[in-house]
């Protein structure tokens, strides 16, 4: 559906005609631009926008189907960029991604959202409160959207770091480190980091290009040259996010390895204890087995004190074995 549609002149919002073609013509005549916001539009709704703004059919197909990687594509009449905002629920340790597609032209911006967590209402309001930036045209809208998405990446990375520290403390806790659910939690957390990386890592090349840091620093059509320093700032923030994500991924892998090693050591300790108790049980079993044989000629077989003597010998041997194993840390 169409969420919002407005014409911006000199950084100020004005309500334009309902017809997209008339709105675009009016914006061009006034030296402004029109910004149309769409949320999960149908083919019929988006067909109207496509026809009026001359959007490329391949980009339109991507915008309708969603499930795209972050990218930047340049067509004859417009620029097409895909971003993936990220949401994180600390209670459930779940990372979810939405999608924002931006079509940028000489006098228009069309934003297409997929998902409930990618609202651009806050971005639009902040821009409308800062006419000095908004008067820079469609480039200002693209910068504001990129900046908002990447800034939220920083927040998510910080929340993931906090939860990972809690998970690390749990793994190395003597009470909970051996929980059979710990390995599952670590693996699930690693999957969430992977989902986060799918949103942040592919976005680096498009932002590098917008910042003028790509091959030979070539200019990007429909993007104002003076906006490069702003995109470089966003690019720097994204680089910090990617470094943080890589660090989290390595740390989770190390924690998983440490947990598995910890479990292996505990299993070895258990086996050592079991072996020690089995050795202690073997001594009286051996003595009882020998004296349980039905031979007439056995030492002390018919002695009156044979039974208590054997019991005492068994007890002494058990005490000696127990103290030996205890001293070596096997029990």
- Asked if residue 104 lies in contact with residue 78, where contact means CB atoms within 8 angstroms, the answer is yes
- Asked if residue 157 lies in contact with residue 245, where contact means CB atoms within 8 angstroms, the answer is yes
**pLDDT confidence of residue 297:** 56
Question: In this predicted model, what pLDDT tens digit does every residue of 120-162 receive, in sequence order?
Answer: 888 888 888 888 888 888 999 999 999 999 999 999 999 988 8
Q: How far apart are CA 111 and CA 123, in angstroms?
A: 12
Neighbours of 162 (CB within 10 A): 11
Q: Per-residue confidence at 94, pLDDT binned at 50, 70, 90? A: confident
Name residues whose C-beta falls within 8 Å of residue 287's C-beta, 6 or more positions apart in sequence. 310, 313, 314
Single out the residue of 90, 100, 106 nearest to residue 121, CA to CA. 100
Name residues whose C-beta falls within 8 Å of residue 192's C-beta, 6 or more positions apart in sequence. 88, 93, 94, 95, 160
Tokens of 184: 């599952």
Angle at 68 between CA 108 and CA 47, to 5 degrees: 45
**pLDDT confidence of residue 150:** 94
Question: In this predicted model, what pLDDT tens digit does every residue of 272-325 receive, in sequence order?
Answer: 777 777 777 777 777 777 666 665 656 666 676 767 777 787 788 778 877 877
Window from 27-41, 132-146, 224-238, 271-285 with minimum mean pLDDT: 271-285
Name residues whose C-beta falls within 8 Å of residue 296's C-beta, 6 or more positions apart in sequence. none
Q: Which residues pair with 96 in a beta bridge?
A: 87
Q: Which residues pair with 5 in a beta bridge?
A: 36
Q: Which residues pair with 95 in a beta bridge?
A: 88
Name residues whose C-beta falls within 8 Å of residue 201's C-beta, 6 or more positions apart in sequence. 242, 245
**What's the pTM value of the predicted model, to 2 decimals?**
0.77
């Amino acid at each position: 559906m169409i969420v919002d549609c407005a014409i911006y002149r000199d950084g100020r919002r004005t309500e334009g005609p309902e017809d997209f073609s008339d709105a675009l013509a009016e914006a061009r005549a006034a030296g402004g631009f029109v910004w149309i916001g769409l949320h999960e539009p149908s083919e019929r709704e988006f067909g109207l926008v496509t026809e009026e703004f001359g959007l490329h059919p391949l980009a339109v197909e991507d915008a309708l189907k969603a499930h795209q990687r972050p990218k930047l594509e340049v067509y004859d009449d417009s620029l097409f960029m895909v971003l993936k905002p990220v949401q994180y629920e600390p209670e459930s340790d779940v990372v979810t991604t939405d999608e924002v597609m931006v079509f940028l032209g000489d006098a228009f911006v069309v934003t297409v959202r997929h998902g409930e967590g990618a609202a651009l209402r806050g971005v639009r309001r902040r821009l409308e409160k800062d006419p000095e930036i908004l008067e820079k045209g469609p480039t200002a809208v693209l910068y504001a959207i990129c900046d908002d998405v990447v800034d939220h990446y920083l927040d998510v990375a910080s929340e993931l770091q906090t939860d990972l520290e809690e998970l690390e403390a749990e793994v190395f806790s003597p009470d909970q480190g051996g929980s059979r659910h710990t390995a599952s939690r670590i693996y699930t957390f690693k999957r969430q980091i992977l989902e986060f990386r799918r949103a942040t890592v592919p976005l680096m090349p498009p932002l590098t290009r917008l910042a003028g840091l790509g091959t030979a620093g070539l200019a990007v059509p429909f993007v104002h040259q003076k906006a490069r320093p702003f995109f470089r700032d966003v690019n720097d923030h994204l680089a910090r996010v990617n470094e943080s994500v890589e660090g989290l991924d390595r740390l989770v892998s190390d924690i998983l390895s440490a947990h598995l090693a910890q479990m292996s050591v505990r299993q070895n300790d258990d086996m050592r204890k079991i072996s020690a108790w089995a050795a202690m049980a073997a001594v009286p079993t051996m003595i009882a087995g020998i004296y349980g044989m039905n031979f007439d000629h056995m030492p002390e077989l018919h002695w009156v004190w044979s039974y208590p003597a054997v019991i005492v010998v068994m007890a002494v041997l058990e005490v000696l074995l127990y103290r030996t194993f205890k001293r070596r840390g096997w029990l």
